[in-house]
Amino acid sequence: MDKNPILRIATKILFAPIILFGLYVQFHGDFGPGGGFQAGVIVASAFILYAIVFGLEKGKELFPLNINLFLLALGGILYGGVGIVSMLLGDEFLSYNVLGSSKQAGQHIGILLVEFGVGLTVSNVMIALFYAFVDFKSSNGETK
Amino acid sequence: MIDIIIKNLPILVVLTPLMMSLIVVLISNNFLSWLLTLFTTLITLIFSLLLYQEVYLHTAISYALGNWVPPLGIEYLIDKVSIIPIIIIALISFLATFFASKIMPAEINNSSISKVYSLWLLAIAGLIGLVTTGDAFNLFVFLEISSLASVALVAMGGQKDKQALVAAYNYLILGAIGATFYVIGVGLLYGITGTLNLADLSNRIAEISDNKALIAGFGFMVIGIMLKAAVFPLHIWLPRAYAYAPSAVSVLLAATATKASLYILARILFSVFDISDNLVTYTLQYIILPLSILAMFAGTIMAIYEKDIKRLLAHSSIAQIGYITLAFAIGTKASVAAGFIHLFNHALIKGALFMAITSMGFYINKRITINNLSGLGRAMPITFVCFVICSLSLAGIPLTAGFISKLYIIKASISADGIWIAFLILASSALSVVYLWKMIEALWFHESPKEPNIKEKPEIYIALLMITFLNIYFGLDASIVVNSSFEAANQLLGVQK
Amino acid sequence: MISSTLGVWNYWIVFFLMMIGLFLVIGRKNLLKKIVGLTIFQTSVFLLYITFGKIQGGTPPILNNINETVYSNPLPHVLILTAIVVGVATTALGLSLVLRINSEYGSIEEEDISAEDLIDYHDLIETSKKISVKFKK
């Protein structure tokens, strides 16, 4: 597909705005519709689009598998880490109130970090699923 | 620091394996990932023992996640009932991890071992979370975490035997249907009562009588959980999944997976709904009781005719699950307590038997059928002795853990005017001797084809020795298990009975 | 009677989808179609929850200063967000298993697979019988 100039140029133009839109959905989740799940899928779609148009090899060059796995775990660890920090500060698990100077500030910080963790994990899971399915080699050796 | 840990114990038992599974997946060194897994399960075991102590100090611990007050927020509830499955899962997962050190690399490709351990911890976290949570929907999430992780673990057996893939597929489909049934039930109950907290749910259900949606919701929930717990006619996924999973995974799943679901079944029947309610009484008397009796015999007879040993043990698990549900179905305090005693003892017995058999399979390096066991007992004396002790325990011979649970089930059934049930239990136990003898005969009395030159490795038999020791210990001094089970039954059935 | 039965048309849709999904899971022999059925089955449950959450004339649950506002129930939506994620995980795992099965067996029809499994199983028993007969002699 990488021979088709329209697809190639459209992908290059769209790539950054898709991620930007993903980040908007991510961080605007406090005030309006949005949040980690949706944003994660949107961000992942940018990388998946890139890999579809330029081929899996190029896609893996842009976003290598080991970084993918690392970020996938990091998202979950970030989520749990927020909970552990709130426990260490003497409150219940995932209680955001103690994280900031006031209760409201704490809630802000907490939900932002947790949703960011969710977003990281979701986007990386989506990309990992895409890689796994596209890269699947049957026992006969042919790529499906 | 200590008081922070004590205060947060209910979440820590779930969080430790959950978080560590994310870290383990990043480690590429196989030995290191195993060591970390072992360490994690050890910590979880220590936390769960601390929790046991705490529960007996306070009778029940309620933990509000994110400091949201219980009926609204998610509550983690540990009482004398839920502590029993937590201890079972933590203990067995520690022993199984210890056992896995040499067994796992023999069956799994080097590149995927750390991922397998990550799934392993995820499955443990899911199972413990399932028991800990006091929120009906959170329970569903943990149910799916544990079952998806176990499906992936079973599918890992596909690297050796492709039938594992089909087994995993069936497990996935039936597990997903079970979980979805449960969610439909929760949805209907939520529609009527407007709450998801299990304790709150039970209070509000008590106020409602004669509501069709309530009955439908109850039915969906119970069927869904029965499917997960492999209660007799819904057991079809179990033998294959256990037989084709990698050895260490069979040990873990056989000893823990259905136990958590059985606990949930007890919780729904006795705690969310009321035992004095006709709905529950009829379900117990006309559905679960006959099914359990069928399970006892069907499972045992299927096991007698089975050639593949792992499958044989899986069929025998179905029969043993039958004993547990039978004890629940009788529905008196003593019988429910007996059910919990057997829940604990069966986990020890089945874990030990699977360990013994799979370590034999490790040495002969092929599928273990009744015929290629010939003479292995002489070549592997330590494993064989452990195997015999645990078989006796399964059959219910005195001085073993299995005897205690059979004794209490029979006592409870006699005191509940069910002499015939006691006879059926004895008959089925007698039948179980047939398949156990079949294995022991093959192991010891059959001539071995060629003298197998086997040197037993301590890494493998130490875990087996530990679990066998527990089998004997809890047969000689069962007071801890019996007392905590009776406390659990008291708390579950309330004071009036 | 009729109006009260048809008045709950959303529940009719839910149960219609539920039955379609369950039928596909049970009735189809193709492993991929079973997964499709499972997804439809789960989707019907999502709709069931969303239906509970809707209140006629309800607004999004954002606090305002008007006193007598009717809010829709947001909780089922949050629950279903979680359930959707679980559903995605189930589907992904199922599809990857189907891929593996296809590459190992060369088919995703249940009949082909169980036929091959049975052969394997009988082979195992037969060969082990032969071995044991040989050593008894």
The whole-number pLDDT of residue C128 equals 59
| 3-class secondary-structure state, position A143 | strand
* Distance, C-alpha B112 to centroid of its chain: 26
Q: Which residue has the tokens 């309330």?
A: B494
Nearest C-alpha neighbor of B247 from the set B387, B388, B102: B102
Domain-embedded: residue A22? yes
Candidates A70, A73, A93; nearest CB to B65: A93
Cβ–Cβ gap A37/C81 under 8 Å: yes
Domain-embedded: residue A34? yes
B43 touches chain A (CB under 8 A): no
The whole-number pLDDT of residue B36 equals 92
- Considering only B128-137, B336-345, C123-132, which range has the smallest mean pLDDT? C123-132
Q: Please name the chains neighbouring C, where neighbouring means 3+ C-beta pairs under 8 angstroms.
A: A, B
When pLDDT is averaged across residues B343-360 and rounded to a whole number, the result is 90
The whole-number pLDDT of residue B234 equals 87
The whole-number pLDDT of residue B495 equals 56
How many structural domains does chain A have?
1
Above pLDDT 90, what percent of chain B?
Answer: 32
When pLDDT is averaged across residues A7-30 and rounded to a whole number, the result is 90
Does C60 or A131 have the greater pLDDT score?
A: A131
When pLDDT is averaged across residues A45-51 and rounded to a whole number, the result is 93
- Considering only A31-40, A75-84, B391-400, which range has the smallest mean pLDDT? A31-40
pLDDT digits (tens, 9 = 90+) for B288-319: 999 999 999 999 988 888 888 888 999 999 99
When pLDDT is averaged across residues A105-127 and rounded to a whole number, the result is 90
User: How far, in Å, CA of A102 to CA of A112, rounded?
Assistant: 15
Average pLDDT, chain B: 87
- Considering only A53-57, A95-99, B51-55, B284-288, which range has the smallest mean pLDDT? A95-99
Is the per-residue pLDDT at B344 higher than 70? yes
Q: Which residues of B touch C8 (CB under 8 A)?
A: none
Is the per-residue pLDDT at B414 higher than 50? yes
The whole-number pLDDT of residue A144 equals 40
CA distance A86 to chain C (A): 23
Cα-flanking dihedrals φ and ψ of residue B24, to 5°? Answer: -60, -35
Does C23 or B451 have the greater pLDDT score?
A: C23
Split at pLDDT 50, 70, 90, the class of B102 is confident
Domain-embedded: residue A113? yes
Q: Please name the chains neighbouring A, where neighbouring means 3+ C-beta pairs under 8 angstroms.
A: B, C
| 3-class secondary-structure state, position C23 | helix
When pLDDT is averaged across residues B408-437 and rounded to a whole number, the result is 87
* ipTM score for this prediction: 0.89
Cβ–Cβ gap B4/A91 under 8 Å: no
When pLDDT is averaged across residues B475-493 and rounded to a whole number, the result is 86
User: How far, in Å, CA of B134 to CA of B73, rounded?
Assistant: 10
Candidates A37, A122, A138; nearest CB to C103: A138
User: How far, in Å, CA of B126 to CA of B139, rounded?
Assistant: 9
Q: Which residues of A touch C94 (CB under 8 A)?
A: none
Residue A46's domain spans which residues? 5-134
Domain-embedded: residue A77? yes
In the predicted model, residues of chain C with pLDDT beneath 70 are 1-3, 116-137
Split at pLDDT 50, 70, 90, the class of A141 is very low
User: How far, in Å, CA of B148 to CA of B175, rounded?
Assistant: 8
Interface test with C, best of A25, A37, A127, A137 (most C CBs within 10 A): A37
Domain-embedded: residue A143? no
